Each structure stands twice: as C-alpha cells, then as structure tokens.
Structure 1
Amino acid sequence: MKKILLLSFLGISASAFAQTEALKLKVSAKADALEQKVISWRRDFHEHPELGNQEKRTAEIVAKHLQSLGMEVKTGVAKTGVVAILKGGKPGPVVALRADIDGLPVVERVNLPFTSKVKAQFNGQEVGVMHACGHDTHTAILMGVAELLASMKNDLKGTVKFIFQPAEEGPPFGEEGGAELMIKEGVMENPKVDAVFGLHINSQTEVGKITYRPGGTMAAVNDMKITVKGVQAHGAYPWSSVDPIVVSAQIINALQTIVSRNLNVTENAGVVTIGSIHGGVRSNIIPEQVEMMGTVRNLSKEDEQMFIERIKTIVTKTAEAAGATAEVKIPFSVHYPVTYNDPALTVRMLPTLQAVAGAENILLRPAVTGAEDFSFYQEKAPGLFIFLGGMPKGQDPLKAPSHHTPDFFIDESGFTLGVKALADLAIDYLNKGK
C-alpha cells in the first residue's frame, strides 16, 4: 500500500511501474547473455588499437554491428566517428549514450593472449599503440547496450542515440577531432538530445562498484604557451643582459601562488603545471628568449576564468618588473570544459544506479583533476558521467596500474554491470520523461 501511495505521489501509475520493472528484468537477463560477446569485442579492439582520427577498423566493426540491428547509422562523423539512432515504439524524449574508441601511443607491457603489438605514426614518430585507458571496454559495452535495447525497441518510450566518438585523447597536432568536432557536425541535434550518459572504466576501483559525483567531477583543462623575451649577453657579464631564464624561474614560482593564495581550496581543487621549458644553447650564453608549456586544471567555470586572468597578470607583470616582456597564449591548442554532472539529473538517476548495482556499491567519489571531452556534450544537454570498477577484487588500489601506463589492466568480469547500468539509465530516463 505504501509503495502504491508513493508511486501515486510521484505521478507514476502502478501498471507503468510494473512494466518498467519487467523491462529491467529483461535487461538484466539479456546483459548476462551478452557477456561473452562483449568480452570478445573488447579483446579484438584491445589487440587492434588505433590512435585518434585513425580508428577506421574500429569504426567499421561498430557500424556493421549497428546496421545489423536495424538502426539508422551514420559513419565518418568527426572523421571516424559512428552515430546510430534507435527509435522506440512509443513517443518520448531523446537520450544519448557515448563511448570513445581511440587508443594511446603507449607500448603495452601486459602479457595477455590479446596484447597489442600495433605500431603507428604519432606526430611524426613511430610509436606503440595500446588501449591504455580502457576505451576498448567502453566501445564493447556500448555495442552490447545497443544490441540489448534494439531487441526491446517496441517497449522504449523515446529515442536512443548511440555515439561512438574518436580522438577523446586528442587528435593529431594540427587536426580537429573528438567531442568538440562531433558537436560541430550536429551530433546533439536531429533529433535534439535531452540527456546524455557516459561511463569510464577505472583500473583502481573494484569490480562491481560504480562511483559518481554531482557537479564538477573532472577538471576543465587549458594548455598554455609562455614566451619570455629578454636581452642576450655573455654568461660572464649578466649585468649586460635581461635574463629570460631567471625571469622564467620567477614566473614559475609565482604561478603556484594562484593555487595557494587565490583559490578557495575548501571548495575546489586547481592545478598550474609547467611541463616544458626551453631556452639557450650553451652554458656561457644568456639567451634572448625562453619558451614554456604548461597545463591548467579547474573544477568550475568561475575558477577557470580566475586562473586565466591571474596567469596573464603574473606572467606579464613579473616580466615587466625585470625589464623583460612576456606573452601568454591560453588556451594554446587544447581546451576541455569541466565535466559537470547536472545535479538534478544525478539525483534523479541515482536510484537507477543503486538498483542495478546495489546501494552499497554506488560510491560518491572525490573530484579529479584529469579531464574528459564528454564535457562538451554536457554543455549541450544535462549529462551524467559515471565510473565503472575494473580492478580485480581484493587488489590494493594504490598498487593497481593506473591509466595511460604500459601495465594498465582491466578485469573483464565488470563489463556486464556497465551494460546494465547504461541500459537502465536510458530506459528509466525515457520512461519518466523529461
């Protein structure tokens, strides 16, 4: 009786609730049946990884699978992306589900039957290629979700758009790519997306668990280039120079005061890192110019803007105080917004995640200063990005190999939970309406 009253209060009829629950039982059974298929896809992609904007083989496999399911499929989106539309049997909103498909220039060190031996060209160099961030997992899981939902499309109240995105790790230098280019090419329109969901495997979260965070969950990223110009002189006579190396050192130290003195660290984290510095050709010449490259990370738009303004002021004024000049280009070549989980959508979908994994396995996570271009989709529609456990049970997270490393490893037993989670998020959103 209490459940009926609660459903009535929420505007959900008992029959509609029963239909949804029956549908989700079907999802669970079908996801279990698809487990080996998803694992097989993942192993194939893992053995044959492709770098950003080069994912032709991966895209072809994905497209053929989606076409076999009777979907409307578009290929060549943002160079190598694939987008498919599944129209449900009943009218309703539009949900987008996204997976990234690219690998990384990393030589694999894990001894597996399907270890990657692939080599490719990356920015003019021959490199090893590896799915060292789990995008092979994301692709296989979403292929499983597509097959599952297509088998029950007549029961869906709305439309599901499947987005298989290239170049999440960034396109080759000088090229466009990734989520930003997909959006430019209209992936969030025709039909217009009402909500977007995505997941990321995590090698340091135990299998069977899902983590999430409302609001800023992954950082905005801006890269920067700083050019400091001084006056060249003999190294024995520094008073004849305006030394850009000394000025650069002062700038590097001063930039760290943004985090320690300008950022409210009780609310959000932030990072300013100088990762590259070049100046001079020999020990006894003070050079005329120094170039530095760095990255900036923030967890809110307000902090991001504050950091940019402070960086520009510190760089130019520190140089001016020393008699030098300095120029800042920020962003220089890369900008991702904050990966921002819409708070209302997160609250709305949390019961779905708790039902599929068990409330004890849905954990609130701290924000991280890594970045994800899923954030571009969240600027166009409310979005929720979750993290799926991929670490073997009982392993110490501090000892588990991290992402983007040669020893990165994922336990395949967690894939079915990912299929169920994405499928149930789509079904529950569609059935509840906008």
Structure 2
Amino acid sequence: MFNKFSVTQQTIMGKSANGNSKSLAKLIPLLILIYVSLTASGQTTKSTKANSSALTAIESKIRDKTMAIESKLIGWRRDIHQNPELGDQEERTSKLVAEHLRALGIEVQTGVGGTGVVGILKGGKPGKLVALRADMDALAVKEPAGLPFASKATAQINGKTEYLMHACGHDAHTAMLMAAAEVLASMKSELTGSVMFIFQPAEEGSSVVEPGSGKSWGAKRMLEDGVFKKNKADAVFALHVHPGKSGQIDYKSGPATASSDVLNITVSGQQGHGGMPWNTIDPVVASAYVIAGLQSVVSRRADLTKSSAVVSVGMIHGGSSQNVIPDTVKMVGTIRSYDPEARKQLHADIKQAAEHIAEGTYAKAQVDILPMYDVTDNNDALANQMLPVLKRAAEAGVIPGSLQGASEDFSYFAKEVPGLYIFLGVTPDSEDPAKAAPNHNPKFFVDEKALVVGTRAMAAMAVNFLMSGSPN
C-alpha cells in the first residue's frame, strides 16, 4: 500500500510540473487522510469481527456449561422452594448461597443490607464490573399439595402462624444466579473485568422492619450498606419469571415496571347510634365517596397521553357493631404510575380529592402516602446492546415486553447504574400462558426446563457487557 501511494505521489508531482503544481499539491494531504481513514476502518472492522467471534465462542461455552449443570440447577431450585423464608429471614438461603460462592473461589460478603450476599468474581484481565441480581425471599402463601418438593414451611406473622411459599419465583431466580456464578467462575481466565453477584433479601418487603420506616426494601438497604461504594458496577442486570411461553424472554427498553406507593387514608367523623345518623358524622359514607372519588382522580386528572396510572383501595376497616356508626374508618391502598412527574401530581390530586370529598360530608380525611418503589427504567442503549444476546440465549425467542403493573425494588439499583430488567416465561408447553396462574398465586408454577435459558441469558449478558464495554 505504501509503495503504491508513493508512485501516485510521484506521478502527481510529475504532472504538476506541466503547470498545475499548486492545485495538485493540495490533493496530497487529502489522499493521505483518505488512506489513513481506510486503514483505520479496516483495522476496526477486523477488531470488531474478532471480538464478535470471541463472544460467539464464549456464548457457546456458556450454553454447554449451563446444560452440563442443569440437574444441579434444578436441585438448588427445589431445595430453596421447599424451604422458603420471608424477607429478612433468609438465613438458610443466604448460607446456601454463600457456601456455594466460596466453593467456586468467589470473594464473598455476607450480611449486606440484612441477609444479603454479595460475591465478586475477578476475571483474568482487568476491566469493567457488571452486576447480576437475584431476590431470595418468599411470600405468606399456602402452597397446595402435589409437588414432591412442595413447601410446608410456616412463620409467625402478627401473632398468627402462616404458611410460606415461593409464589413469585424467587427460588428460581436464586438458583439461576447460583448456576450463572458456577458457569462464569469456570471461565474466569477468559473474562475481561469482574462480575458481581447480588443475592438480595426482602424484595417483597421486610418481615421484621416496619414498612413506614423506609427501611423495609432489600435493594435500598443493600445500597445504603455500601454494595456499590467499594465496587461500583458499570451496569446491572436482573431477570424475573412470569407466566409466558416456556423459555421465551420478554424484553423492553424504557419503563418496565410501575412505581409503587402505599396510600393510607383515615376518615374521621362523630360516633353515634346507627338509628339516629343525624346526630353523627358518618365516616363510612364519607369513605365510600372518597373511594369512588379516587377513581375519578385517575380518569379525570391523570394525563393518559403521558403515563397511565392506577389507584386501588385494598383494605378498609371501620366500626365494631352493626348499629353503631364509628368514629373513624381507615383504608389502605396502592398507587401505581410510570412517570415521576405524573406520580408527583397524582399524589397531590389524591390528597386534595380525599380531603375535599370528606369535607363535603362534614368529615375529615388524613392522607398519608408512603413512597415504596420507583419506576424500573431500562437503559435504552443497554437494552439495545443486549437484544442480540437475548435472541441467541432464548429457547423460544424474544418478544417485546409490555408495561407491568407490578413494582420492583430493582429500580433502586437501576437508578445508580444503567440497568436492564427482563422477564422469562415459565409456563409449561401444555398450558396456555394467558390462563396460567399469575405470580403471587398459590398455583403459580415454574417449568424447570426454562431455568437453563435464564441462566445462560444472565451469564451471556454479563460477558457481552464486559467484552463490548458500556453502551453509548
């Protein structure tokens, strides 16, 4: 190439002697620039192809290694499923996880944010740090008999004995991340950078910390405990199982799950005889108007061209006798939205509506809104970068995800660093996903053949990020 360019330069200079030397001489820097650009472009193309080839080879190894430990993966899931623990009581699960990570030679820290476990796997070469997260806690749900590994565990909740179940699939999440750790640990010499494994407590809320304290959400407490202070991740990934075609991945950029707030309203009146309501101020009637009015807030105040919203009252308590109009009525509900500004406006509108409606019946309303989770906002560039990875990992393809009305404290992690939260279908092929029992239902069922898909998706996203770097 240099010899050819030298000849061209001489030829040009030769022609320039015939009377056009100045014009032709100006072309020389331009030709040099074109040559350098083409050379650099060729080198970049070669580098990109080499990197892509290396990624494909590593993803193939991930697939093979995941399949090789499938029986262990299923065994972990069944063990955790049979021994569910409430938020901040995941002692057995945390011990199982920590022992597994240590056996793999991974640096382990326990007691993070309560019962959380964090592992750091350092690759063969220095580089970026990517985090993978799984939640570990179960729910107070009674599991029906049928599975040989069905839960029989119980716990004391508010003085009552309640049955426990992994009705949201956190047993599967924990097992898949344990498997991803084993797969990646076996390939550590090939990794450029490090992987952080976050096993989080209390995603569903704490069973030992008061909700009103603001300390009941595991992700928030892990961050407050410094999970990203010593080792700041460059990106974080998480996965959640849900009713969907087994092995299929739902993927979405932008808002993925709703923000969530607890709504507490106390309506105060004047107690009296049920047969003489004119001598009372009836908080029951006032509460009925307030509940109906809250739906008008959504339908008439929320701008649905910007963000949808939901306000639901799930509990209402008042009175102790059929012929006594009570002094107060208390109601508790949830507020969901997908936009921070819409959320803020919704809070103000709910407070104003409840207070004014109650005043219209001569009662008073005290409104308290406890913020819980922010919107889980998937980083657009990160989501686009990982789409090809997910397509290669998915057993049954990748489909565009829809907004979820559920909420997630993964949002706390995703506010700190770029995050991506995906969904994995776990409905058996013999069942219609549209009719399958949802998460939090005692009949929620996980098709275990989908677990290898989730494992390799998590491992592959981590490796791809480390080798490809941060999204633009």
Query: Are residues 1:191 and 2:227 paired?
Result: no
Distance 1:291 1:367 in 2: 31
RMSD (Å) for aligned C-alpha atoms: 2.0
Question: SS of the counterpart of 2:434?
Answer: coil
Distance 2:186 2:438 in 1: 36
TM-score (norm 2): 0.86
- The equivalent position to 1:344 in structure 2, one of 381, 387, 390, is 381
1:171-186 equivalence runs, <5 A: 171-172=206-207, 174-175=209-210, 176-177=215-216, 178-186=218-226
Contact 1:211–1:388 (CA under 8 A) maintained in structure 2: yes
Aligned-partner residue type, residue 158 of structure 2: N
Q: Shift of residue 76 of structure 1? A: 1.1
Distance 1:69 1:223 in 2: 41
Distance 1:267 1:7 in 2: 45
Query: Are residues 1:330 and 2:369 paired?
Result: yes
The aligned counterpart of 2:64 is 29
The aligned counterpart of 2:6 is none
Query: Are residues 1:47 and 2:82 paired?
Result: yes
Question: SS of the counterpart of 1:70?
Answer: coil
Contact 1:188–1:377 (CA under 8 A) maintained in structure 2: no
- The equivalent position to 2:256 in structure 1, one of 213, 217, 220, is 217
**In structure 2, do the counterparts of structure 1 residues 218 and 110 end up closer, same or farther at CA, with 3 Å as the change threshold?**
farther
Q: Shift of residue 11 of structure 1? A: 9.1
Question: SS of the counterpart of 1:43?
Answer: helix
TM-score (norm 1): 0.94
**In structure 2, do the counterparts of structure 1 residues 234 and 302 end up closer, same or farther at CA, with 3 Å as the change threshold?**
same
The aligned counterpart of 1:79 is 114
Aligned-partner residue type, residue 356 of structure 1: A
Contact 2:88–2:208 (CA under 8 A) maintained in structure 1: no
The aligned counterpart of 2:167 is 132
Contact 1:233–1:286 (CA under 8 A) maintained in structure 2: yes
Query: Are residues 1:258 and 2:294 paired?
Result: no
Contact 2:97–2:178 (CA under 8 A) maintained in structure 1: yes
Q: Shift of residue 336 of structure 1? A: 0.9
Q: Shift of residue 79 of structure 1? A: 1.6
Percentage of matched positions with identical amino acids: 46
The aligned counterpart of 1:145 is 180
Question: SS of the counterpart of 2:230?
Answer: coil
Aligned-partner residue type, residue 223 of structure 2: I
Distance 1:298 1:391 in 2: 28
Distance 1:110 1:352 in 2: 38
**In structure 2, do the counterparts of structure 1 residues 11 and 394 end up closer, same or farther at CA, with 3 Å as the change threshold?**
farther
**In structure 2, do the counterparts of structure 1 residues 113 and 285 end up closer, same or farther at CA, with 3 Å as the change threshold?**
closer
Contact 1:95–1:159 (CA under 8 A) maintained in structure 2: yes
Q: Shift of residue 268 of structure 1? A: 3.3
- The equivalent position to 1:94 in structure 2, one of 124, 129, 132, is 129
**In structure 2, do the counterparts of structure 1 residues 140 and 6 end up closer, same or farther at CA, with 3 Å as the change threshold?**
farther
The aligned counterpart of 2:448 is 412
Distance 1:50 1:347 in 2: 36
Q: Shift of residue 63 of structure 1? A: 0.3
Aligned-partner residue type, residue 452 of structure 2: T
Distance 2:394 2:447 in 1: 17
Question: SS of the counterpart of 2:442?
Answer: coil
Query: Are residues 1:390 and 2:426 paired?
Result: yes
Contact 1:219–1:370 (CA under 8 A) maintained in structure 2: yes
Structure number with higher helix proportion: 2
Q: Shift of residue 238 of structure 1? A: 2.2
Question: SS of the counterpart of 1:403?
Answer: coil
**In structure 2, do the counterparts of structure 1 residues 421 and 10 end up closer, same or farther at CA, with 3 Å as the change threshold?**
farther
Contact 1:110–1:408 (CA under 8 A) maintained in structure 2: no
Query: Are residues 1:116 and 2:130 paired?
Result: no
The aligned counterpart of 1:316 is 355
The aligned counterpart of 1:15 is 50
Which ranges in structure 1 are unaligned for 5 or more consecutive residues? none
Kindly name which structure, 1 or 2, has the bigger radius of gyration based on alpha carbons: 2
**In structure 2, do the counterparts of structure 1 residues 161 and 23 end up closer, same or farther at CA, with 3 Å as the change threshold?**
same
Which ranges in structure 2 are unaligned for 5 or more consecutive residues? 1-39
- The equivalent position to 1:306 in structure 2, one of 345, 348, 361, is 345
Question: SS of the counterpart of 2:321?
Answer: coil
- The equivalent position to 2:279 in structure 1, one of 228, 240, 243, is 240
Question: SS of the counterpart of 2:444?
Answer: coil
Q: Deviations over 1:124-148 (max 9, x none)?
A: 2211111111111111100010011
Q: Deviations over 1:47-69 (max 9, x none)?
A: 11111111111111110110011
Distance 2:350 2:197 in 1: 39
**In structure 2, do the counterparts of structure 1 residues 256 and 9 end up closer, same or farther at CA, with 3 Å as the change threshold?**
farther
Question: SS of the counterpart of 1:423?
Answer: helix
Q: How many residues are matched?
A: 427
Distance 1:362 1:130 in 2: 29
Contact 1:103–1:133 (CA under 8 A) maintained in structure 2: yes
1:62-73 equivalence runs, <5 A: 62-73=97-108
Q: Shift of residue 323 of structure 1? A: 2.5
Aligned-partner residue type, residue 355 of structure 1: R
Contact 1:229–1:289 (CA under 8 A) maintained in structure 2: yes
Distance 1:172 1:206 in 2: 33
**In structure 2, do the counterparts of structure 1 residues 246 and 67 end up closer, same or farther at CA, with 3 Å as the change threshold?**
same
Q: Shift of residue 10 of structure 1? A: 7.6
Contact 1:110–1:407 (CA under 8 A) maintained in structure 2: no
Q: Shift of residue 312 of structure 1? A: 0.7
Q: Deviations over 1:72-130 (max 9, x none)?
A: 10011122111000111222211110011111111111411111111221232211111
The aligned counterpart of 2:436 is 400
Distance 2:159 2:60 in 1: 51
